[in-house]
Structure 1
């Protein structure tokens, strides 16, 4: 069965752009009706203020981190989950999965320093970005919320692994002021990828890009996060994601993305991974069609992190139907699949 959101976007594209194009009033009604059906089918409950004006916290160096707590009415009633974005991403990229997960628990989404609604410590934007600095920003944010226990889902970059290892650093080790009970490591790795064919292919340039060049760069970068079969079957959905990435309200400064790219080439925590406590329940999620971070990286983490396990295959709640998915993991399958993967793991 094809995911409901795939069918929705195919219909949306056909009605507005294709052979079924209709007069404007009917278009608006169609959009409204299908958006309601789409949300229901995908287990989405979307608050009116989703991804609106964020809250913020000032870091010790005066940088400002923007964040939102989805499902905030559940604070104190269920274990909070923190969603940590990857390179070039903003909190708005969780706009579907975040609200879905927030039906049963508080979900924290935030913008890394210097991207989205988060700022640098000064207008000049000279802050250095490293994996460690990103991990310390996250630690400060969670401490600010005064949550004694959290679960964390890290996507791609490796910020979560770095945060868990802050107490074991040779230089300036830092104890975490909260307890991490559960971790999801999705499409990520434990070592720097030296092969240039991997990673997001964003290369620096001293020449300003034209709007057309920028759009093409973003298109190629996004395409790499999916596999060819998904792109072929979901062209309308991809165009929607591309449009939102280019025209959405969340700024993605090229200078910040370049700093993130350099940070991904400069971390070194692989040897420290065995220090992660077995008491932290670690679940690894990785698709065999990931073109950004090769599947073998998931197996390396399973070997190094004590007690880590891989997401199960199957059709029961908490399992995924196949490993035939790419880097952009939560765009595959119905959101109910990922809701159950998270929910079942957090109950272990």
Structure 2
């Protein structure tokens, strides 16, 4: 059984969660990697997971209960995030739009807490709504037949109708969250330019992910991708073995998380935080969601985004949704702002949060300005 656990964990780490941007975990001997106790010393300590809003439970159209938190507008002036490393000037603070609502959508294998820095630094800009996507975080488990990008778009529509029934709305999505926004645009294009005034797409793709190699470049990486879906499905059939392996293999999962989430040196706490979110996602959820990204194709749904202020942000070292995918989105959304962040992996919203927050703030302010001119 120990050998099966090590093998299952190794395959899960090398294939399954690499596609999600982290590791499913493996069983390894401690002396292979060694403990990283010395790495825990860091320059900045951040209370990840400590920012909480008013909790709600929203029932989706198929009965799945989604966990939601709402941060009400509390400050009379919007924040001024630190200028990004590239030297963009700070914008002058101005009075927030009192009825503005921002809805944040997280990515595959994560939960709402991945928006920690944006939640902290954009507080006061408007009412902010965060929710755990179905089968993730504190939300209920989705029926397997309803695991699709289209269903995630329907979930978002319900959240918007319930928690932002009136007033302007800005949608901000990371990875799978950005895909959910595209699904909403496909199903309800009439919302864009009317209720929805701004969109932020972070480290995401509108399609073609089946052409992105996994783990290694070229043909070998494409072979790994071909084997990924059946391998993850096989692992999901022995969840107890895999989950024990994940708990045992913290060192390997830590290293893989760091490699596939970030493109630069980050404090160890950042990697620990992401690793914990990934580890909390059951292997069966990983297996159910993984195939939908190969099928994802929403280039035809991007036209409504031309009616709103839109910013597309990506990292130059993102191995999961390469920056070329951000460029392709902008080619389909003329007028959208394209922001490339240097030395940035898939989790740029954590790794280079200042740059991401500054780009999102710029989009929001332009959207508000355009609204005031109509």
**TM-score under structure 1 normalisation?**
0.70
CA positional deviation for 1:324: 2.1
Aligned to 2:170: 151
Residue 290 of structure 2 corresponds to residue 261 of structure 1: yes
Task: Choose the corresponding residue for 1:188, options 204, 217, 222.
Answer: 204
RMSD: 3.6
Distance 2:199 2:145 in 1: 28
Change (3 A) 1:151 1:225: farther
Secondary structure in 1 matching 2:211: coil
Aligned to 1:166: 187
CA positional deviation for 1:85: 0.7
Secondary structure in 1 matching 2:286: helix
CA positional deviation for 1:91: 1.1
Residue 315 of structure 2 corresponds to residue 283 of structure 1: no
Change (3 A) 1:65 1:236: closer
Change (3 A) 1:138 1:177: farther
* Structure with greater helix percent: 2
Aligned counterparts, 1:14-163, within 5 A: 18=38, 50-51=51-52, 54-73=55-74, 77-120=98-141, 125-145=143-163, 146-157=165-176, 158-163=179-184
After superposition, give the CA deviation of every residue in 1:156-214 in whole Å (9 maximum; x if it has no partner): 1211112112136xxxxx86796111111111111131135249978331223345632
After superposition, give the CA deviation of every residue in 1:135-158 in whole Å (9 maximum; x if it has no partner): 000110110111432111111121
Residue 368 of structure 2 corresponds to residue 332 of structure 1: no
Residue 365 of structure 2 corresponds to residue 347 of structure 1: yes
Distance 1:255 1:63 in 2: 17
Aligned counterparts, 1:170-319, within 5 A: 179-195=195-211, 197-198=213-214, 203-204=232-233, 205=235, 206-208=237-239, 209-211=241-243, 213-215=245-247, 216=249, 218-219=253-254, 222-227=257-262, 229-230=264-265, 234-243=267-276, 245-246=278-279, 251-273=280-302, 275-311=303-339
Larger relative contact order (CA 8 Å, sep ≥ 6): 2
Change (3 A) 1:266 1:183: same
Change (3 A) 1:82 1:305: same
Q: For the Cα contact (< 8 Å) 2:201–2:313, is it kept in 1?
A: yes
CA positional deviation for 1:115: 1.9
Aligned to 1:25: none
Distance 1:290 1:151 in 2: 25
Change (3 A) 1:19 1:243: closer
Secondary structure in 2 matching 1:225: helix
Unaligned residue ranges in structure 2 (runs of 5+): 1-35, 76-95, 216-224, 367-374
Q: For the Cα contact (< 8 Å) 2:73–2:124, is it kept in 1?
A: no
Q: For the Cα contact (< 8 Å) 1:51–1:95, is it kept in 2?
A: no
**TM-score under structure 2 normalisation?**
0.66
Unaligned residue ranges in structure 1 (runs of 5+): 1-15, 22-30, 169-173, 313-321
CA positional deviation for 1:235: 3.5
Change (3 A) 1:89 1:188: same
Aligned to 1:317: none
Secondary structure in 2 matching 1:293: coil
CA positional deviation for 1:130: 0.7
Change (3 A) 1:255 1:307: same
